[in-house]
Amino acid sequence: MNRTTLTALYLDEIKRSGLQVGDLVGRQADSVLLNSLYQGRFLGRPLFLGQAERDQLETDLRNLRSALVSLPGRLYGGDLAEFARAAGMSEVQVSAILRTQGTAVTSLARPDLYVDENGFRLLEFNMGSAIGGMDNADMIVSLLEHPQLAEFAREHQLEYVDTMREEVRTILTETGFEPDSAPVMVMTDWPSSYSFLEPYLREYAVRLSQLGLDSSAAHIGQLEVRDGRVWLGQRPVDIIYRVFMLEDLLESPEAPALMDPILDAVASGAVKLFTPLDAEMFASKGALAMLSDEKNRSLFDEQELASLDRILPWTRMVRPGPVTLEDGKQADLLHYALSHQDDLALKPTLLHGGNGVLLGWRTDTSPQLWEERIRAGLDGPYVIQRRIRPVPELFPGDDGDLTPWIVAWSAFTMLGRYGGVFARAASVESNVEVINVMGGKAHVTSCLHVRSGA
């Protein structure tokens, strides 16, 4: 059984039963945690993965991560600062990375992928704690309350990964705390985004507390460094769970001064940071361009190359000069980008959530705008990436009919293995191509996979 067959079988059952999306979403609409962020935008079925597909995806993502974290050593002689600059980091960001560098790069990652006619293809590789979607098990639990899906899951031996529990295990492992030690942890955002995320982070902290982490939520300006510790009010903090991002350092001239005391506390060992800031360096699209570059292929082993060829689209830094295309031919980058607008996306190396992305094939992206942005991006922190053409997935609608949606799969990996899927989707009819929860248009769901050994 693969995802296509499982999906077709389940959709057939839904169609014959006459069920609508409102019948299937379960109690997701009653969840304070889920609705504090997703506001009732839930899809009426999960995604599906066959056992072989899940195993292949896990292998490919593990190999991709391995290749990414090896880049400083393979390309820059171990010089982390030079790698960070090449990946698009500013000097203030490079300094922050070096001050909080851990002994090992975090295993927590959430690659975002589309599925085209050949399989999974990577959009971006998110790494570190400043990512969302780890509440996806709550979605699947609610969906499974409907007897139709529950029976289907039993019949086909389907299961899911509780991503939030795996996250807790990863936090404890990577910060060095014992499983039953209940360290004090603060989910720490940046002041300008905290006003929006606070309700969600507070609910999330309650859930993490139930799973063994004494958690609360705050923004970085509410933390205080004194007496050799970091404090939130009168409570000493053991772990800062980093929701803030490297890009926040560029928000204003005052931003580094807000972060500096916390970075100093981390560097001195007064508090653990989950995850260190170097995670975002490896999540840069500039790093993906290094993996994609033909001249670096000799650096990777056979297994890494097979995975890169399978899931990584052609990606190049926007630099003047020749580039190698997929067929081995050479082309001038600027000329190629301008003459192949319909097949390329322009993306900043570091920004998240679709910010700064320009899709060349959009009807509202004029040739004049495309050329202007490409030329402005030369020698800047931008990449061009080959367009991925996702195959739409069918989902039950409000009237019972099946409607096509474009789905972005966010597949978690933690401690070297598959950690579940959080999916965002936009209907084909909506014509939304940068699928972003924060934009208020994406619907969400999770994934069931065939049990190992089934």
pLDDT at res. 21: 86
Q: What distance in Å separates the CA atoms of residue 127 and residue 153, rounded to the nearest whole number?
A: 31
Q: Are 410 and 394 in contact (CB under 8 A)?
A: no
Listing from the earlier edge strand, what are the strands of the sheet with 382-386?
315-317, 382-386, 344-348, 358-359
Q: Give me the residue spans of the domains in the chain.
A: 3-283+391-450, 314-386
End-to-end CA distance of the chain: 10
Query: Which 3-state string (H, E, C) describes 155-209?
Result: HCCEECCCHHHHHHHHHHHHHCCCCCCCCEEEEEECHHHHHHHHHHHHHHHHHHH
The confidence score (pLDDT) of residue 354 equals 67
User: What tokens does 82 get?
Assistant: 């030079």
Sign for the pseudo-dihedral over CA of 143, 146, 148, 153:
positive
The string of DSSP letters for 294-308 reads GGGGGGS-HHHHHHH
CB 398 within 8 A of CB 20: yes
Instruction: Answer whether the bond into residue 275 is a cis peptide, omega within 30°.
Output: yes
For the chain, what's the residue count?
Answer: 454
In the DSSP assignment, the letter for residue 392 is: P
Give one DSSP letter per residue of 306-348, joined into a string: HHHHHHPPPEEE--SSEEE-TTS-EEEHHHHHHHTGGGEEEEE
Residue 329 burial (10 A CB sphere; 0-12, 13-18, 19+) = exposed
Compute the distance between CA of residue 311 and CA of residue 61 in angstroms, rounded to an integer. Answer: 9
**pLDDT at residue 435, as a whole number:** 85
- Residue 426 region by backbone torsions, left for phi larger than 0, else alpha for psi between -120 and 50, else beta: beta
CB 177 within 8 A of CB 190: no
At 213, the amino acid letter reads L
Give the closest residue to 287 by CA, choosing from 140, 97, 2. 97
User: With the C-alpha atoms ordered 16, 50, 422, 364, is the resulting torsion angle positive or negative?
Assistant: negative
pLDDT of residue 440: 66
Rounded to whole angstroms, the Cα distance separating 136 from 446 reads 5
pLDDT at residue 357 in the model: 92
Q: What are the pLDDT tens digits along the chain (454 aa)?
A: 999 999 999 999 998 888 888 889 888 988 999 998 998 899 999 999 999 999 999 999 999 999 999 999 999 999 999 999 999 888 999 999 998 887 889 999 999 999 999 999 999 999 999 999 999 999 999 999 999 999 999 999 999 999 999 999 999 999 999 999 999 999 999 999 999 999 999 999 999 999 999 999 999 999 999 999 999 999 999 999 999 998 899 889 999 999 999 999 999 999 999 999 999 999 999 999 999 999 999 999 999 999 999 999 999 999 999 999 999 999 999 999 999 999 999 999 887 666 789 999 999 999 999 999 999 999 888 999 999 999 999 999 887 789 999 999 999 999 999 999 999 999 999 888 888 887 667 999 999 999 988 7
How far from chain centre, in Å, is Cα 65? 13
Q: Are 450 and 54 in contact (CB under 8 A)?
A: yes
Q: Which residues pair with 26 in a beta bridge?
A: none
**CA-to-CA dists, residue 184 to 33, 222, 231, angstroms:** 21, 15, 10
Q: Which residues, other chains included, contact 301 with Cβ-Cβ below 8 Å and sequence gap of 6+?
A: none
Instruction: Give the DSSP H or E segment for 236.
Output: strand 235-237
Cα dihedral angle (251, 253, 255, 257), rounded to 10 degrees?
170
Report yes or no on whether pTM surpasses 0.85. yes
- Give the HSE-up count for residue 21: Cα atoms under 13 Å, Cβ half-sphere: 20
Pick the CATH number of 314-386 from 3.90.550, 3.30.1360, 3.30.1490, 1.10.287: 3.30.1490
The answer to whether residues 112 and 406 touch, using CB atoms and an 8 Å cutoff, is no
